[in-house]
Amino acid sequence: MTPHASADQLIVESFLSEREERSLAFDVLDGLTKPFKELPPKHFYDARGSELFEEICALPEYYPTRTERAILQDRAASIMERTGAVELVELGPGAPDKARVLLDAADGQVERYVPVEVSEAALRASAETLVDEFPALRVHGVVGDFERHLGKLPTPLGPRLVAFLGGTIGNFPPGSRRRFLRQVRAVLRPGDWLLLGADLVKDPAIVEAAYNDARGITAEFNRNVLRVLNHDLAADFPVDAFEHVAFFDPRHEWIEMRLRATRPCSVWIAALNLRVEFAAGEELRTEISAKFTPRRLEADLHAAGMELDELLTDEEELFSLALARAA
């Protein structure tokens, strides 16, 4: 806690045991014993993975981060005025950059910021930065998985705005996506708000370039999940024997990232007492990233009990911020 933050100003509650913090073992056991192997993308993000993703965000090919930030900076004041929110909840914020834009625009309107983040270290670092910058702001951090611990949010102070940014909603398959949005709706009272960052359907060449950058940083980011398994689960993946694959699936309108074995591999995962075989050319799916049409966004929100109030986009309609109200 910083010298400027009182106990009342900064509260952090953890709902994860150390063993649960990444739920890696369960996901690996489940995902690598399926006929078509897959892993959830949250396991990219150890310290090295987070560094690589920061590099990706700065790449010229990778439009989502800078486009979302530009929309947010342009429209933050109108968002905060429209919602009247006195409490800002942010799911999986990582760095406090986006919260800072909204809090600046709110000009003292927001009394409490509630980040929900799986990493306690990252949450505390962000929270301490924000309480230094906004002396009147209270921060109530929730260390947990936003897919499992939304019910642990503190009782709202008043009108609430939940922000789920970065296009992360696209990582959910359609059924899981609507289920998750219903969970979000459950922590909103009628008249509360959701601000949802969603990538839009566009020329597939633009999308594929964003996930196949010329410098190969996305490829290293993709392979990093194997390094995570090697380190955390005492596995012996030959990382260099897997190549990065990313392509747009026009039927589902999503990008898929996979790792393809360039030769037969027999992998031992000691922590799970598990051997996993990969044939040459066999692929492991590591991420889907769905792209949305306005109609699909509206339908998903409506199915979860929320109504789309406004869809904010950039001039090229690459990315969107959907502002929705709980019915």
Question: Dihedral (C-alpha) 154, 155, 160, 161: value to the nearest 10 degrees?
Answer: 20
66-121 pLDDT per residue, tens: 999 999 999 999 999 999 999 999 999 988 999 999 999 999 999 999 999 988 88
Q: What is the CATH number of domain 61-201+291-326?
A: 3.40.50.150
Coil vs helix vs strand at 73: helix
**The model's pTM:** 0.93
pLDDT at 247 over 50: yes
248-307 pLDDT per residue, tens: 999 999 999 999 999 999 999 999 999 999 999 999 999 999 999 999 999 999 999 999
Nearest to 215 by CA among 64, 65, 55, 63: 55
Domain ranges for the chain? 24-59+204-290, 61-201+291-326
Those residues with Cβ within 8 angstroms of residue 303's Cβ, 6 or more apart along the chain or in another chain: 178, 181, 182
What 8-state DSSP symbol labels residue 66? H
Average pLDDT, the chain: 94
